[in-house]
Amino acid sequence: MTRRKVSLTELRELADRGERLVMVTAYDYPSARLADAAGLDIVLVGDSAAMTVLGHSSTVPATMEEMLVLTRAVTRGAERPLVVADMPFGSFQVSDEEAVRNAVRFVKEAAADAVKLEGAGPTLSRVLALIGAGIPVMGHIGLTPQSATMLGGFRAQGKTAEKARRLLEDAVALEDAGCFSLVLEAVPAPVAEEISERLSIPTLGIGSGPRCDGQVLVLHDVLGLYEGRSPKFAKRYANLSTEIRGALERFAGEVRSGAFPTEEHTYAMPEQELAAFLSGSRAGSRAEG
């Protein structure tokens, strides 16, 4: 039975009732199914895929074609959670028209429910254009990895009164432009709390303290699947890389020792069919010899 997709209104109502929203990234069908089964509200096909699944050292190289393949797999697996596709670097920076063209591809070709864009300032006109085209937009401010070099590296943002005030202004501007929610990444907790109180749309914090309307983490950090360095704010809830490596080592060991496969993993055939097959095959090889 197909379950009903969570709506933007429901997300807002949940947040208004003080129920915390939960979002996780996912990049394939099985993890989307698991996020759905675990009752998560939003699944983000993050451009963090460039690092977690494609092996790049930053999110910048993620392409539209790669993100479309991943988003398609996730939307097949996530029935109830809202699926948000992250617009990769270069897909929305050039013009409103290009942003709309690319966001439409996420909705039409990959069945995404919404898209996420990093930044404010020039991003505001993109948000207006996308919403004008009927595509819901999630904003993302604070540490925006696509522009980490401009921000002085992967570091917390809004740590002075002036920078915190600018973040608040950006948040209000994104809400006014029509974003249905806002990611706050690596923002001091009191600043994230003030922004969350001032906005009507739900905020989703990552490294921004407990007073956001919800929290988001990268799946590979949650599962302990990422071999690279995880940020300070990432909490590990499992250690799957050790589990997976152990399983692969046991598999290799059993193949090499002959312990796998056993009869349990092997197909049989009726005895007379086998006898006929073997006698035919041996007669053939005698005739050839």
Residues of this chain that bind ligand KIV (CB under 6 A): 25, 44, 46-48, 86, 140, 183, 206, 216, 218
For every residue of 211-280, DSSP letters joined together read TSSEEEE-HHHHHT---SPPPTTPPPS--HHHHHHHHHHHHHHHHHHT-SS-GGGS----HHHHHHHHHH
Report in angstroms how near the CB of residue 274 gets to ligand KIV at its nearest: 54
Of the pair 50, 177, the CB lying nearest ligand KIV is at: 50
Catalytic residue selected from 175, 185, 193, 194: 185
Residue 185 is a catalytic residue: yes
Residue, CB closest to ligand KIV? 46
Report in angstroms how near the CB of residue 98 gets to ligand KIV at its nearest: 20
Report in angstroms how near the CB of residue 84 gets to ligand KIV at its nearest: 9
Of the pair 135, 217, the CB lying nearest ligand KIV is at: 217
Of the pair 230, 260, the CB lying nearest ligand KIV is at: 230
Closest C-alpha to 47, from 59, 32, 35, 30 = 59
Report in angstroms how near the CB of residue 154 gets to ligand KIV at its nearest: 11
Burial class (CB in 10 A: 0-12, 13-18, 19+), 108: exposed
Per DSSP, 209 falls in state: -
Enzyme catalytic residues: 185
